Structure 1
Amino acid sequence: MVHYVIVEPANGKLELADAPPVYEIGELVPACRPELTEVAPVLYCAEHPDEQLPALRKIAMLDAERRAPPLVCAIVASDRATGRVQQHLADRLILSRPDTDDTAVFRYYDPRVFTHLNRILRAEQFGALLGPLTSWAYLDPASGWTTMKGAGTFEENLAVTQEQYNRIVRIELVQRALDVLRANKSATPPHAAALLDAQFAKGAAYGLDGSDLLAFAIHGLLVSPYFDRHPRVMAILQTAQPNYVDSVTQWDASDWETIARESLQYQ
């Protein structure tokens, strides 16, 4: 079994303290997108895992504590040929958009993205994503180090539905909201990411974007998932160009408590 580490070089230089340096395999550049050269993640081999893996995990933990973009994205293992592992990981950077000939860059390797995929992809799709890997370990922003098991076999290309693609696109928004909530030490309910995703989809349908959309989604999580049906909120959302944040900024805690209580009728 060989251990590898996926690194985002844009987020810093990989230097291990008190451990041998990891061996660079190369960039994860899909054959169909050579323009990603020098901006793609890099795959390294950890030839001395007993010494190197703890040092890699420490780097990831320090970045998380500083709320810095992750340098060490994932520690993976496989018993397949290194070149085949590199090719598979590179190919997965390209995701086909459903019902079109277009493709998009899929930052699945970023732990801030990967942590959301378990609620979006089906088991067989996860198998296609991991392919020849037997394990994928990453630092979950909420629950710490997490390991996903893989079958270590090569699967067909990863294909997603339009709804799954839309949810993948919204991962950045969901993660931004979760970061705001953690920074403010706000208590969040179970399955907060899925609940936020639904609120972001709803807010976008109302024509909200930017800070208005972010605030709307957080209120939908913390106040009530049905709060948008309350008359006071509907009066804002039904305007031609809703300016959500400015409209609700004067509401105090008692206003929100009333909206939350009265929104129970809309379940």
Structure 2
Amino acid sequence: MPDWLLTHEYALLNPLIVEPEAWADLPCEPLVTPHANVRPHLLPQLIRLNELSSEARLALVERIGRHQRRGVTFFCALLQSDASADVIAQHLKLHLEQRRTGDKRRWWLRFYDPHVFRHLCWQLEPEQMDRLLGPIAAWRWPDAQGDWHCQSHHSTKQYAMPQLMLDRKQWRRIDRLASLNAVLDTLLISAPEKAQEKALWQWVDILLSRAEKLPLNQAEDRQLYAEQAVRFHPEIHSHPALKARLEDAREQGSSYSNSCADLDDAMLESMATELNSHNTRKEGL
């Protein structure tokens, strides 16, 4: 039997990824929040692994294996904690709904999604991550390759207020997460040699922020802007051919992606070579 079934008391399951019949017999609780107008069976589920019998755990291992062979990660997180299921559930529910300064609305924070949690690990301050973990001693999540990573507390300090208190800069980063993950997914295919790690994630986020400020108003345009810089040259957009396309997109409100449709990899690599040659000549002066 895998060690994780013995060392983790709880798991999180996303019912939008795993079909209902695959988890309906597991001891679970939907993370229902006061203001989420969503049916409970569609909300994240807290699975109480510590209540499973040995037979049920073995059956679960087989079930997880079947999903893995189909490319589906059964659990989106594994949690270590001595706290009761009620305490864990209430803590997670508290953080699912977030408030922004000056905004009366409540915003859903998908921290249970591994594609979100991996970025929160570098976007949150250590104190904020400790507040997010709360009674959870260790949080493990899977990456796209099926490897598991762990986040634990930075300190043993107890906080009177559990709220994250995200600032505006952090919210802007969170708002970019969908685009950030879209670029990273593209790079897995177009640039598999790029290590999918914190340095790359931060760089892509900076590029997306830069594209916002140009401004490029369409998400697909900002994503292409970031991908071009990562794949071909950090200053690729200083090349006259791309500068002209960016100017058209800004001034005419046209699609930057459409204006780049005639460019293939060889053309962009040629632009990168020109930029490198130009920089070399400048250094030689």
What's the TM-score, normalizing by structure 2? 0.78
In the TM superposition, what are the counterparts of 1:61-140 in structure 2 within 5 Å? 66-68=70-72, 70-140=73-143
Q: CA deviation at 1:115?
A: 1.1
Structure 2 residues not aligned, in runs of 5+: 1-6
Secondary structure, aligned partner of 1:35: coil
Which residue does the alignment assign to 1:160? 166
Which of 22, 29, 49 is the matching residue for 1:15? 22
Give 1:196 shift.
1.4
Instruction: Tell me whether 1:243 sits opposite 2:249 in the alignment.
Output: no
Aligned-residue offset at 1:127? 0.5
Larger Rg: 2
Q: 1:223 to 1:134 in 2, by over 3 A?
A: same
Name which of 35, 45, 48 aligns with 2:37: 35
Contact between 2:88 and 2:135, CA under 8 Å: does it hold in 1?
A: yes
CA distance in 1 between counterparts of 2:62 and 2:208 reads: 34
Q: Percent identity?
A: 23
CA contact 2:132–2:162 (8 Å) conserved in 1: no
Other structure's SS at 2:9 match = strand
Structure 1 residue 188 displacement after superposition: 1.5
Q: Mark the CA change 1:229 to 1:46 in structure 2 (over 3 Å): closer, same or farther.
A: same
Cα distance, 1:43 vs structure 2: 0.9
Give the conservation status (yes or no) of the 8 Å contact 2:68–2:74: no
Cα deviation for residue 53 of structure 1 reads: 7.1
Q: CA deviation at 1:52?
A: 6.8
1:191-229 CA distance string (max 9 Å, x none): 221111122222233224143332222112112232222
Measured at CA, do residues 184 and 261 of structure 1 come closer, stay the same or move farther in structure 2, by a change above 3 Å?
closer
CA contact (8 A) 1:133 1:152 kept: no
CA–CA separation in structure 2 for the residues paired with 1:98 and 1:92: 16
One-letter identity of the residue aligned with 1:196: V
Matched with 2:10 is 4
Determine helix, strand or coil for the equivalent of 1:10. coil
Q: Secondary structure at the match of 1:138?
A: strand
Structure 1, unaligned stretches of length 5 or more?
Answer: none
Kindly indicate whether the alpha-carbon contact (under 8 Å) linking 1:4 and 1:46 is maintained by their aligned counterparts in 2. yes
How many angstroms apart in 2 are the aligned matches of 1:237 and 1:185?
Answer: 23
Across the two proteins, how many residue pairs are aligned to each other?
Answer: 259
Q: CA RMSD in A?
A: 3.1
Q: Which residue number in structure 2 is paired with residue 218 of structure 1?
A: 227
Contact 1:5 / 1:74 at 8 angstroms: preserved in 2?
Answer: yes
**TM-aligned CA distance change 1:92 to 1:100, over 3 Å:** same
The 2-side partners of 1:159 and 1:232 are apart by 43
Q: Which deviates more from structure 2 when the two are superposed, residues 131-140 or residues 225-234?
A: 225-234
* Structure with a larger share of its residues in strand: 1
| AA matched with 2:220 | S
Q: CA deviation at 1:15?
A: 3.4
AA in 2 matched with 1:35: N
**Higher helix proportion:** 2
Quick one: structure 1 residues 132 and 204, their matched pair in 2 at CA, closer, same or farther if it must change by over 3 Å?
A: same
Q: Which residue of 2 aligns with 1:198?
A: 206
Deviations 1:88-139 (A, max 9, x none): 0011101222343332101010111111111211111100111110111110
Which AA in structure 1 matches 2:182?
Answer: R
Q: What residue identity is the alignment partner of 1:226? A: E
Check the 8 A contact 1:7/1:42 in 2, yes or no: yes
